[in-house]
Amino acid sequence: ATLTVSTTGGNASSPLLYGLMFEDINNSGDGGIHGQLLQNNGFQGTSPTLASYAAVGNTTLTLDTTVPLTSAITKTLKVTVPSGTTGSVGFSNSGYSGVPVNADTYQSYFWIKGSYTGTITISLVGSSSGIVYGSSDITVTSTAAKFTYVTTTFASSQSPDGDNVWQLTFDGSKVAGSSLWFGLVQLFPVTYHERFNGIRADVGNFLEAIGPSFLRFPGGNNLEGASPGDRWKWNETIGPVENRPGRQGDWGYANTDALGLMEYLQWCEDMSLTPILAIWSGLTLGGGIISGAALTPYVDDALNELEFLLGPTTSTWGALRASYGHPTPYSISHLEIGNEDNLSGGCGTYASRFTAFYDAIHAAYPSITLIASTTSSSCLPSPLPSGVWTDIHHYEEPAQFISLFDEFDNYPRTPGYGIFVGEYANTATDSGATTYWSNVQGAVSEAVYMIGLERNSDLVKMASYAPLLEHFNMAEWSPDLVGLDSRPGSLTGSVSYCVQKLFSKARGSTILPATADVDFNPLFWVASMTDTGTYYVKIANYQIGSQNVTVRIPGAEGASEKAGLQTLTGAPTQSNYPLDITVLPVEGFVNGSVASGWTFEVPGYGITVLTVTS
Ligand code: AHR
């Protein structure tokens, strides 16, 4: 096939086009991207247990509800030491299915109450081997009067596996016949941009490598709550972590909310992402819908959240933000009202619920682009207020993504209107079998869909694959873009991750007209140009056989003969697995010229990105 790219005409492409969608699902937050590595540290959620704790030596562990750390962290660990005990005793925490232990510097924090003066040792220990990879002896003076905060920093060597625990031990003879209480134990490696209570550096760097433009958070279903009282409450996710009660998340486990509103925004600041903040719209996942006059307190709550984020330090909520270390207002340019309000019985009331939030927020913050959580016109106000965007989600089989290639080709263009594809992923084969972890055929079908989005990126402002991240041993939804567990090197990019990265890193500001001597399918393509004269041509080949393709850019005067050529392919069912990554893009080049074009093979079930510089 021959593709001919025009260097004139075309449409401006959305500068935000590719980004990230994040919610705490699959322990993607606690146990995933958040830097804190110990599980169940605040005994949060509806049915707290002693899960992940174990006695070390001759102690008895109890989940104590009578000795709260704070009014938010109401449960603590009581460690009882029998009379006559000698030697080192204490307790351990096995983290999120093991504590990842690397050659790194660790910080550990905990609260202690009860009479004890002496050494407390924090260590990172192989569960089976007993090998100590790092440890710290701290001199502690604790009394029964109140909780004392203890911190320590220590270096660790690399554990060969993820079978590790964090351990706290003390001199049992000094406590024999009595008890000590511990609250909110924490362990952090060096974090992304070395932030206090930050996200993991390895995960942050891995996501940054995609080259994303935005972060949609905090959900997804996890925004909604099982009932109104269980919704994600922004004001309970801010300030010192000991003042955050956490909540029962919507994916079957407790959320600590240590990854809270300000941590999300710090992630955005450090990764140069535009925040796409979602607010609760009155819809829950089965526990009822708040609408009409009863919604007013929640509209007020959203305005308080925006004052917290954007208000001057002289305002009530802006002052609180400043007191938490961020006097400068954040930058919030986009805000989504709800999540999937076309589902869970929400459609009938969404038009009025959306309007209640829209009227209040638009009046106070007219420059914020407000996004409705569905494109279903039957659920939306009519007419949709000018400037409002709508969010659509697609979890599809490969053949459906191929047929959705032209989804937006003939969509009405209204000034100010935009589409957000807030979630999409190939989740099953064409025969309906669930795809555990994205494979080559599915990822190429996503690429075909993304080519369709990019061709329409005057209208399609943003698109994000979902879900973003899973802990391999704790996932309730798969496939996910990225996965990890406690083993070194387990951080794994799926084939879809490779596609996201290839596409996001090769973005022009103008989508150029590109014609061919063949019709779309099985070849699909999109061409773009940057402001500095780099041309990108993305091609997906959705069939078994390879295709010989010549790309001509007759107007690309002064173009280098040597063009970059990135190729991603594999067997249709081939996947990447933890510690077994077999599908990666191959970086190469192809020689050509403006006169003859650039000729290369696009492999079967393959993607190529041609980069021509001028
Ligand atoms: O991405 C997983 C879930 O899919 C999201 O929480 C929800 O918005 C969608 O239904």
Q: Which one, of 554, 549, 560, lies nearest residue 612 by Cα?
A: 560
pLDDT digits (tens, 9 = 90+) for 215-247: 999 999 999 999 999 999 999 999 999 999 999
Q: With a 6 A CB cut-off, is 423 part of the ligand 1 pocket? A: yes
Residue 393 alpha carbon to ligand 1 centre in Å: 8
Residue 355 alpha carbon to ligand 1 centre in Å: 23
The pLDDT of residue 326 is 98
Please check the confidence at residue 436 and state whether its pLDDT lies above 90.
Answer: no
pLDDT digits (tens, 9 = 90+) for 525-560: 999 999 999 999 999 999 999 999 999 999 999 999
Give the atom of ligand 1 at the shortest distance from the alpha carbon of 343.
Answer: 10
Whole-model pTM? 0.98
Q: Is the ipTM of this complex over 0.95?
A: yes
Atom 9 of ligand 1: nearest residue by CA position: 220
Mean pLDDT of 52-71: 98
Atom 8 of ligand 1: nearest residue by CA position: 220
Residue 460 alpha carbon to ligand 1 centre in Å: 20
Give the atom of ligand 1 at the shortest distance from the alpha carbon of 339.
Answer: 8
Order across the sheet with 116-126: list the strands: 53-56, 88-93, 164-171, 116-126, 132-142
Residue 221 alpha carbon to ligand 1 centre in Å: 5
Residue 233 DSSP label: -
Listed in sequence order, the residues at least 6 apart from 611 whose beta carbon sits closer than 8 Å to its beta carbon are: 506, 534, 535, 536, 563, 564, 565, 566
Mean pLDDT of 150-164: 98
Atom 1 of ligand 1: nearest residue by CA position: 467
Mean pLDDT of 137-141: 98
Give the atom of ligand 1 at the shortest distance from the alpha carbon of 466.
Answer: 1
Q: Verify cis geometry, omega within 30 degrees of 0, for the bond prior to 479.
A: yes
Going from the C-alpha of 208 to that of each of 19, 270, 480, 501, 565, the distances in angstroms are 10, 10, 17, 9, 22
The pLDDT of residue 286 is 85
Please check the confidence at residue 475 and state whether its pLDDT lies above 90.
Answer: yes
Q: Which residue has the tokens 């989508």?
A: 511
Predicted confidence band of residue 168 (pLDDT cuts 50, 70, 90): very high
Please check the confidence at residue 569 and state whether its pLDDT lies above 90.
Answer: yes
Listed in sequence order, the residues at least 6 apart from 23 whose beta carbon sits closer than 8 Å to its beta carbon are: 29, 217, 218, 219, 220, 221, 222, 223, 467
Cα-based angle 471, 73, 257 (whole degrees, multiple of 5): 35
Query: What token pair was written down for 490?
Result: 């387990």
Residue 392 DSSP label: E
Residue 394 alpha carbon to ligand 1 centre in Å: 10
Mean pLDDT of 133-149: 98
pLDDT digits (tens, 9 = 90+) for 244-299: 999 999 999 999 999 999 999 999 999 999 999 999 999 999 879 999 999 999 99
Listed in sequence order, the residues at least 6 apart from 257 whose beta carbon sits closer than 8 Å to its beta carbon are: 236, 237, 244, 245, 246, 247
For the chain, give the mean pLDDT. 98
- β-pair partners for 95: 98
Give the atom of ligand 1 at the shortest distance from the alpha carbon of 340.
Answer: 8
Give the atom of ligand 1 at the shortest distance from the alpha carbon of 422.
Answer: 8
Q: With a 6 A CB cut-off, is 391 part of the ligand 1 pocket? A: no
Atom 7 of ligand 1: nearest residue by CA position: 220
Residue 261 alpha carbon to ligand 1 centre in Å: 20
- β-pair partners for 591: 562
Per DSSP, helices labelled H in 338-439 are 347-364, 398-403
Mean pLDDT of 352-366: 98
Mean pLDDT of 333-358: 97
Tell me the best of 20, 396, 477 to mutate to test the pocket of ligand 1, counting ligand atoms within 8 Å of each CB and taking the most.
477
Listed in sequence order, the residues at least 6 apart from 587 whose beta carbon sits closer than 8 Å to its beta carbon are: 564, 566
Residue 22 alpha carbon to ligand 1 centre in Å: 10
Predicted confidence band of residue 37 (pLDDT cuts 50, 70, 90): very high
Q: With a 6 A CB cut-off, is 467 part of the ligand 1 pocket? A: yes
The answer to whether the beta carbons of residues 217 and 265 sit under 8 Å apart is no
Alpha-carbon distance of 102 to 202, in angstroms, equals 11
Atom 5 of ligand 1: nearest residue by CA position: 220
The pLDDT of residue 287 is 77
Mean pLDDT of 46-54: 97
Domain ranges, ordered by start, for the chain: 2-13+509-613, 20-36+192-504, 53-188
Alpha-carbon distance of 468 to 497, in angstroms, equals 9
Residue 539 alpha carbon to ligand 1 centre in Å: 29
The answer to whether the beta carbons of residues 35 and 191 sit under 8 Å apart is yes
Say if strands 60-64 and 254-255 run parallel, antiparallel, or are unpaired.
unpaired
Residue 220 alpha carbon to ligand 1 centre in Å: 5
Q: With a 6 A CB cut-off, is 466 part of the ligand 1 pocket? A: yes
Q: Which CATH architecture has domain 2-13+509-613?
A: Sandwich (2.60)
The answer to whether the beta carbons of residues 216 and 286 sit under 8 Å apart is no
Give the atom of ligand 1 at the shortest distance from the alpha carbon of 423.
Answer: 1
Atom 4 of ligand 1: nearest residue by CA position: 220
The reply to whether 53-188 shares the fold of 20-36+192-504 is: no
Q: With a 6 A CB cut-off, is 339 part of the ligand 1 pocket? A: yes
Alpha-carbon distance of 41 to 73, in angstroms, equals 10
Entry field: residues in the chain: 614
Q: Which CATH architecture has domain 20-36+192-504?
A: Alpha-Beta Barrel (3.20)
Q: Which one, of 146, 151, 99, lies nearest residue 120 by Cα?
A: 151
Percent of the chain with pLDDT over 70: 100
Predicted confidence band of residue 435 (pLDDT cuts 50, 70, 90): confident
Q: With a 6 A CB cut-off, is 477 part of the ligand 1 pocket? A: yes
Residue 490 alpha carbon to ligand 1 centre in Å: 25
Alpha-carbon distance of 167 to 135, in angstroms, equals 9
Tell me the best of 336, 339, 478 to mutate to test the pocket of ligand 1, counting ligand atoms within 8 Å of each CB and taking the most.
339
Q: With a 6 A CB cut-off, is 485 part of the ligand 1 pocket? A: no
Q: With a 6 A CB cut-off, is 374 part of the ligand 1 pocket? A: no
CATH number of the 53-188 domain:
2.60.120.260
Query: What token pair was written down for 127?
Result: 């569960």
Mean pLDDT of 443-461: 98
Atom 2 of ligand 1: nearest residue by CA position: 467
Q: With a 6 A CB cut-off, is 23 part of the ligand 1 pocket? A: yes
Mean pLDDT of 111-129: 98
Q: Which one, of 74, 72, 150, 137, lies nearest residue 108 by Cα?
A: 150
